[in-house]
Amino acid sequence: MKKLITATVILFVFAVTAKAQVLTPVHWSYGAKKLNDNEAVVFIKATIDDGWHVYSQTVKDGGPVKTTITFPVSSEYILIGKTIEPTPITRNEKVFKMDVSFFEHEVIFQQKIKLKAGQATVKGTLEYMTCNDHQCLPPDDVEFSIPVK
């Protein structure tokens, strides 16, 4: 019985330690603003922990995974243009041996849409990669759903 209790305590400590090591330096939030009865803009915001960065949508092949926002075809809205982003920071990253564009602290991506019935729920997926000066985390996919009323 004593061995069972000891083993359980050890497993619990390992589980807590493993959970504590999961890094989540990027936090996503979403919103929308109607421009008029037929148009709106959806906002996809990344709040990025100090020392970390998220890559632009315009990273060239051979570099890190660029941020990609995908909107499936919907009967509620159509996309107007491409997803826009602010001007990123661009610098040469030795790891990738190329100039790379990225964002620090926060970035807001914007997508204009045309509403078909005055309101919609904009769904999609974003893929992104985050790095700091010491490591990169594997690319992550995040699904979102943004009500537009």
The pLDDT assigned to 21 comes to 62
pLDDT in tens, 22-77: 899 999 999 999 999 999 999 999 999 999 999 999 999 999 999 999 999 999 99
The pLDDT assigned to 15 comes to 44
pTM of the model as a whole: 0.84
For the chain, strand residue ranges (E) read 26-34, 39-48, 53-55, 68-70, 77-84, 89-93, 98-104, 106-115, 120-128, 130-131, 140-148
Any idea which fold 25-148 has? Immunoglobulin-like (2.60.40)
Q: Check whether 14 has a pLDDT greater than 90.
A: no
pLDDT in tens, 113-134: 999 999 999 999 999 999 999 9
